[in-house]
Amino acid sequence: MEVLEAILKRRSIRQYTDRPISDDVIETLLKAAMYAPSAVNKQPWHYIVFRDCEMMEKIILLHQNASMLRQADVAILVCWDEELQHDTGYGPVDCSAATQNILLAAYGLGLGSVWIGLYPRIQRMESVHALFALPQNIRPFSIVSLGYPAEDKKMPLRFNRDRIHFEKW
């Protein structure tokens, strides 16, 4: 699959089949995440892979937009290490790139996925921090819900020339 095709056609998929995702596929997703660009190549990310249904239910109680986790086979918590980030504020930027790489790789591997946002919602971040017993210097950024898709979404028209400016506004 070409990169541009994945960028244009990937959609948020919230309905999944019960087909399990292999550990090899998960490792491929994590490899894609770790090849994301990061400020000064600091790579401040950490990942927690989880399949536990009870943990997913606890997250759903904390996050009103995470109900797709009920059907997910696996989820990945993307975090940044405050001690490894280039400077204050760069961890979330780096984790954005890593999360996007997971989403694109998932699509390329035939998986459905959703970016469940934690950052910058402090209450969500603190709740997930406590739930996963993260070290003090680790900050949760996002959760990616994953499964084989049970729905198909078509590519919408999003290209908008009115948002493009050359040389100046």
Q: What is the pLDDT of residues 35-66, one digit of tens each?
A: 999 999 999 999 999 999 999 999 999 999 99
Residue 133 has pLDDT above 70, yes or no: yes
Q: What percent of the chain has pLDDT over 90?
A: 99
Q: Any alpha helices (H) in the chain, and if so which ranges? A: 3-9, 23-34, 53-62, 90-108, 122-131
Confidence (pLDDT) at 157: 93
Torsion of CA 14, 118, 135, 102, to 10 degrees: 50
Q: Tell me the pTM.
A: 0.96
CA-wise closest residue to 33 among 99, 128, 93: 99
What is the C-alpha to C-alpha distance for residues 77 and 142, in angstroms, rounded to an integer?
6
Residue 1 has pLDDT above 70, yes or no: no
Average pLDDT over all residues of the chain = 97
Mutual angle of helices 122-131 and 53-62, in 10-degree steps: 160
CATH T-level topology, domain 18-150: NADH Oxidase (3.40.109)
What is the C-alpha to C-alpha distance for residues 146 and 51, in angstroms, rounded to an integer?
10
Residue 100 has pLDDT above 90, yes or no: yes
Q: Tell the residue number behind the tokens 């399949």, with chain if given.
A: 51
